[in-house]
């Protein structure tokens, strides 16, 4: 799928992006008040993997091209503490610093989140909350409901040590902010930003700039980029990173090992290329001067972006990531 000529072209664009962001860093020093996260002990930007906890027995029987590696955890349930501990151990071994946890305020997640907190505290692993504002029918929750849920998070979870903090505030992400007008986002975030940091999920420089007064940065979720068909994707990430530097806000740059949502009606397939896709996307994301790298994903098995050990790939992609990090 990836020819040498394409690889050279992609790496050239990545190098261009690197040059842009290095210049941006020199020209736009962050003020002391900016919530800059620390680097890892090795000096690298921390990698946080998007993590999902909706898996039950029935989930594994439909729309799956691959499954978790047997014999453990196998086709697991997300509320199994042994599974959670195993996932965190494997993630840490590959250089992942924490999970960006997809969260809805419902009874199932209310039951599972404390299990995640307990496991994360035992392993000194960190969590970031990613609020899922999209409904299962493709719409989005009313802003008033979003506000209630964020306040619930502040009251019930934000005090736990498992949540990653910058200047004492747990880091959170509001997914699908492009679906809301800035006025609605302002109403929600002004009631909680004294307690937590809230990143938007804007997909453009214009979008993140528009939301800058009401949020603390951007976590762009871009799982289906094809490095071959979109050779300028690295430049796009670089420009978004540059914009966040100028705004003195937090930037989480996305990267993924591949993508395939054809079994749920999609048409985009991004081949893994035996690790080439992961390496190219990692380099482009890292070149955008991020505060974090957002790995898509630990266990999204329906869109086939998972890094979790599988029957088909075993631990191949975790090993690739470990070499990168």
Rounded to 5 degrees, what angle do the CA atoms 125, 38, 102 make? 45
Q: In 145-274, where do the E strands start and end?
A: 165-166, 169-174, 197-199, 217-219, 250-255, 259-260, 269-270
Asked whether the beta carbons of 66 and 309 are under 8 A apart, the reply is: no
Residue ranges covered by each domain of the chain: 43-324
Asked whether the beta carbons of 162 and 205 are under 8 A apart, the reply is: no
Q: Is the pLDDT of residue 16 over 70?
A: no
Q: Is the pLDDT of residue 34 over 70?
A: no
Mean pLDDT comparison of 31-45, 65-79, 208-222, highest-scoring range: 208-222
Calculate what percentage of the chain has a pLDDT beyond 90.
81
Question: Rounded to an integer, what distance in angstroms lies between the CA atom of residue 25 and that of residue 318?
Answer: 30
Query: Across the strands, what pairs with 49?
Result: 99, 295
Is the CATH number of domain 43-324 3.40.47.40?
no
Q: Which residues, at least 6 apart from 33, have a Cβ–Cβ distance to it below 8 Å? A: 248
Question: Rounded to an integer, what distance in angstroms lies between the CA atom of residue 55 and that of residue 77?
Answer: 5
275: left (phi over 0), alpha (psi -120 to 50) or beta: left
Q: Which residues, at least 6 apart from 59, have a Cβ–Cβ distance to it below 8 Å? A: 301
**What is the pLDDT confidence band of residue 23, given thresholds at 50, 70 and 90?**
very low
Question: Rounded to an integer, what distance in angstroms lies between the CA atom of residue 99 and that of residue 301?
Answer: 16
pLDDT in tens, 258-311: 999 999 999 999 999 999 999 999 999 999 999 999 999 999 999 999 999 999
């Amino acid at each position: 799928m990836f020819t040498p000529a394409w690889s050279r072209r992609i790496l050239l664009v990545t190098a261009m992006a690197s040059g842009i962001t290095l210049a941006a860093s020199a020209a736009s020093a962050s003020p002391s008040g900016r919530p800059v996260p620390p680097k890892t002990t090795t000096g690298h930007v921390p990698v946080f993997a998007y993590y999902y906890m909706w898996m039950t027995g029935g989930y594994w029987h439909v729309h799956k091209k691959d499954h978790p590696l047997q014999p453990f955890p196998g086709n697991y349930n997300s509320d199994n503490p042994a599974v959670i501990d195993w996932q965190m151990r494997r993630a840490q071994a590959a250089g992942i610093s924490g999970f960006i946890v997809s969260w809805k305020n419902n009874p199932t997640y209310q039951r599972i989140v404390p299990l995640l907190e307990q496991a994360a505290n035992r392993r000194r692993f960190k969590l970031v909350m990613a609020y899922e504002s999209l409904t299962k029918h493709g719409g989005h929750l009313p802003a008033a409901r979003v506000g209630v849920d964020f306040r619930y998070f502040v009251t019930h979870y934000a005090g736990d040590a498992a949540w990653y903090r910058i200047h004492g505030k747990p880091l959170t992400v509001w997914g699908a902010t492009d679906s809301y007008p800035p006025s609605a986002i302002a109403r929600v975030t002004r009631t909680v930003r004294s307690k937590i940091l809230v990143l938007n999920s804007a997909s453009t420089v214009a979008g993140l700039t528009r939301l800058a007064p009401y949020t603390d940065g951007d976590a762009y979720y871009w799982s289906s980029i094809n490095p071959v068909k979109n050779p300028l994707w690295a430049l796009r990430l670089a420009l978004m990173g540059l914009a966040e530097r100028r705004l003195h806000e937090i930037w989480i740059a996305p990267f993924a090992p591949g993508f395939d949502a054809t079994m749920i009606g999609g048409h985009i397939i991004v081949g893994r290329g035996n690790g080439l896709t992961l390496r190219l996307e990692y380099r482009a994301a890292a070149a955008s001067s991020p505060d974090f790298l957002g790995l898509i994903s630990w266990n999204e098995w329906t869109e086939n972006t998972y890094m979790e050990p599988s029957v088909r790939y075993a631990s191949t992609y975790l090993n690739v990531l470990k070499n990168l990090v």
